[in-house]
Amino acid sequence: MPGTWDLVSSRRTTQVLSPTRVLDVMLIGVQTIPHGVYFERAVPYVDWIQSPLGVTLYAEPPADNIEFELTSGAAIAASYVEDLDATGLVVGYIAFVLQVDSGDPNRPGPFQTTVDVPMTVVSQANLGGGGIISQELNQALAALKQTAGI
């Protein structure tokens, strides 16, 4: 989608890929439009130095997918979070917030949950609609609706 992101920061750093491998990267900070969800992507420094405008390849797919889910999907909010994977390496996620109202005055809600989707998934191009993100959110939404008695 055109106009779904702004580049808001960048800094050169080292990305740890494994206990024995590192990569020189330009860490870019991106903010989605219009919802303002901030996230970070590591662009290999070699790629960035050869084509600084190539950051589009790293910024646009996740921004498009985040904005799709907030505009057309089940999510009402999203934020960038980091956690450690099983090997102790830092991994980025988008935490999507899902919400339903039961419609029952005795159970007014709202009922909410979050779904953490790895940036590796969020960053895949053309996921909007029936993509992996929507599938993960729809599974959580179905469980949330059961909890709310819908």
For residue 6, the model assigns a pLDDT of 95
Q: What is the pTM of this model?
A: 0.89
Residue with tokens 């050869």: 50
Q: Which residues pair with 139 in a beta bridge?
A: none
pLDDT in tens, 43-98: 999 999 988 777 888 999 999 999 989 998 779 999 999 999 998 999 999 999 99
Distance CA 70, CA 66 (A): 6
Distance CA 2, CA 23 (A): 30
Retrieve residue 116's tokens.
């953490």
Distance CA 105, CA 82 (A): 37
Distance CA 55, CA 32 (A): 14
Per the prediction, the chain carries an average pLDDT of: 89
Distance CA 44, CA 55 (A): 10
Beta strands 5-18 and 21-32, pairing class = antiparallel
Asked if pLDDT for residue 35 goes beyond 60, the answer is yes
Residue with tokens 């993100």: 133
Retrieve residue 5's tokens.
């992101």
DSSP helix/strand/coil, 150: coil
